[in-house]
Structure 1
Amino acid sequence: MGGVTSSIAAKFAFFPPSPPSYRLIADDSCAGKLVIPEVPRRDDVDVLKLRTRRGNDIVAVHVKHPRASATLLYSHGNAADLGQMFPLFVELSLRLRVNLLGYDYSGYGQSTGKPTECNTYADIDAAYQCLKEQYGVKDEQLILYGQSVGSGPTLDLASRLPNLRGVVLHSPILSGLRVLYPAKRTYWFDIYKNIDKIGMVNCPVLVIHGTADEVVDCSHGKQLWELCKEKYEPLWLSGGGHSNLELYPEFIKHLKKFVITIGKSKATNGSKKHMVDSDSQSKPSEVGTSDTFELGADPPEVSRNSLDSRLEKSKKSNKPEKSRMSTDHVDRFRRRKGLVW
């Protein structure tokens, strides 16, 4: 049973867009500078190619803000690549006043290799080293942001860095196996064991999750938040799904508040004012009417999502939750277009 479940989890863990949404070319007019022709060229954006310790070359983009208060290292969701995420990265940098480094996992976009759990850990480590060595970013200035499956590499790195400024978990998973069915314990063959790593994170953690998420149940985010050492006020978006949280006005408002609060906390030697009691956060946050999050001029819809848009089209509003299932449903599971998280 364990071997079957493990192979299912591994098979359905990664869905890189095919074909990739972008190309990577060297601009001879700019001394061979790397550019992505499918996105607007900007002076404040560097396109990079990074070598990982596992021998893969991954593509990354670094978006600069002239008055940045921090740097965000963004690990995107499962069925997106840099070409699709680029408008969101630029908008987040602008709204939050941060520098932002986003990267593609091995086997995604124009990154070489294959997407595996171990490769994603090496990928985020390469991005982290780039920030330290090329841009001079210190751990105290760094916020790690993991969306959906990106919560895996994010928490792996965060568990090894004691002096981070903060961590954001956006629709996170407890573990790969727990997305398939509610396991009572962690098995050796499981992937992305976030439930076992969250307790080793020593900085403030913000969890954002939609209460109507049909891919990764909101209980994943709530349990991870309960296990945090240093809790920040979470955001449970009432009615929010897995791929549309950026469209809620409260999303950018709460994220901005988090960035500002932990920045002030760091400046005052670790004030704990952002800590909250779990009892005060039992109710979902309500959507506000200001700070509406918009992405430039007519970006493609998928640029705001980290999921294959085909998944949303295939769902029905009255369809029962199927993100968790036992191995006796393997045949039905395989008939689906794919579980994307």
Structure 2
Amino acid sequence: MKKAVNKIAFPKPIKTETVQIHDLRIIPVQIKRKTERVQISVYEPKNIKFKTRFTILYIHANDTNIYSLDSVMQKYAEFYQSRFVTFDSCGYGLSSGKATEKSLYRSSLETYGYIKEAFNLQNQDIIVWGKSIGAAGAMYLSSLLNLKLCIAQSPIASLVDCLINTRCWCKNTFLSFQHIRKIQSKIVIIHGTADDVVPFFNSTKLIDSYSKDRRECTVVEGKPNGIILETIKDLSFYIIPDGGHYDLETDYAQQFEYCMTQSFRQMQ
């Protein structure tokens, strides 16, 4: 049963050969299990004009690794003028171990612990941002720790909710709809309505779980470029009409950057 679940959640963990990447700090971190080692990459803004505002911990989706994210993460570090940290959980890149739900959570916790100590950070200095299945790691981490902000991009509510159109008799895992109830920090959810990988209703299920009375306390506002914003307590839900799973940062870059900029502006 566990093998079937992991095969569905992590279809092809991306491995890579050793490569040389300029201006990228790769830090191998040994986690508690002897067979597991996590590769962490740290990006410091080069042209920063003031003290680094936040440290952003990015948990990527299951179709990439820190090497393929190199140029993207450096761009984000400069754009948001913040230290940017990402990592390959077990089974990805040069990280050892197997890709499983628990190893994703362990990798997230160990990376958090490392950056907190290495950079002398408080929880309120850290923003966690997860994409797709990485959002499950971000919400799990935020459910345990009162961080500055939790950003969930195209998040899954659970594995079964993600695979609603696929025959699956496996045990349900990645129960983000339960984790979100325990999050005390501010939350931002960004999702495209035409997402065919993680259906849009995953986000609405997360919001329903976060606040059962959301229809009574939700303010709906129309925003530039067709974006819809719903605010519920400390949660902001940005809806990008017609946006998919892989094109938010490209075809819908203007809308996506607006959502992110507004989210960071709230942190100032």
Shift of 1:146: 0.8
User: Structure 1 unaligned runs (5+)?
Assistant: 24-35, 265-341
1:174 is matched with which residue?
Answer: 157
Residue in structure 2 matched with residue 212 of structure 1 by the alignment: 194
The reply on whether 1:71 has 2:67 as its aligned counterpart is: no
Alpha carbons 1:205, 1:228 under 8 Å: kept: no
Match 1:242 to one of 217, 239, 245: 245
RMSD between aligned alpha carbons?
Answer: 2.2
Q: What do the CA deviations read for 1:265-303 (whole angstroms, capped 9, x no partner)?
A: xxxxxxxxxxxxxxxxxxxxxxxxxxxxxxxxxxxxxxx
* CA distance in 2: counterparts of 1:233 and 1:149, whole angstroms: 20
Determine helix, strand or coil for the equivalent of 2:249. Answer: helix
Match of 1:58 in 2: 38
After superposition, the C-alpha distances for 1:129-186 in whole angstroms (9 at most, x for unaligned) are 1111111121001111110011122111110012x1100000000111222238xxxx
User: 1:16, 1:83 → 2: CA distance?
Assistant: 16
Deviations for 1:293-325, whole angstroms, at most 9, x for unmatched residues?
A: xxxxxxxxxxxxxxxxxxxxxxxxxxxxxxxxx
Q: Distance in 2 between matches of 1:18 and 1:69?
A: 32
Higher strand share: 2
CA contact (8 A) 1:49 1:60 kept: yes
The 3 A distance-change label for structure 1 pair 81 and 140 is: same
Secondary structure in structure 1 of the residue aligned to 2:189: strand
Asked if the contact 1:16–1:80 (Cα under 8 Å) also holds between the matched residues in 2, the reply is no
1:48 equivalent in structure 2: 27
| Aligned-partner residue type, residue 74 of structure 1 | Y
In structure 1, distance between residues paired with 2:3 and 2:111: 28
Task: Number of aligned residue pairs: give it.
Answer: 238
TM-score, normalised via structure 1 length: 0.65
Partner-residue secondary structure (3-state), 1:12:
helix
Moved beyond 6 Å, runs of 4+: none
Residue 97 of structure 2 corresponds to residue 109 of structure 1: no
Mark the structure with the bigger radius of gyration.
Answer: 1
Structure 1 position 105, deviation (Å): 1.1
User: What is the distance in 2 between the residues matched to 1:245 and 1:119?
Assistant: 27
Change (3 A) 1:240 1:139: same
| Structure 1 residue 232: Cα displacement | 3.6
Taking the aligned partners of 1:70 and 1:173, their CA distance within structure 2 comes to 26
Q: CA separation in 2, counterparts of 1:156 and 1:188?
A: 21
Query: What is the TM-score with the length of structure 2 in the denominator?
Result: 0.82
Structure 2 counterpart of 1:9: 5
Q: Give the structure, 1 or 2, with the largest relative contact order (CA under 8 Å, sep 6 or more).
A: 1
Whether contact under 8 Å (2:178, 2:209) holds in the other structure is no
Among residues 141, 145, 164, which one is paired with 2:129 in the alignment? 145
Structure 2: which 5+ runs fail to align? 212-232
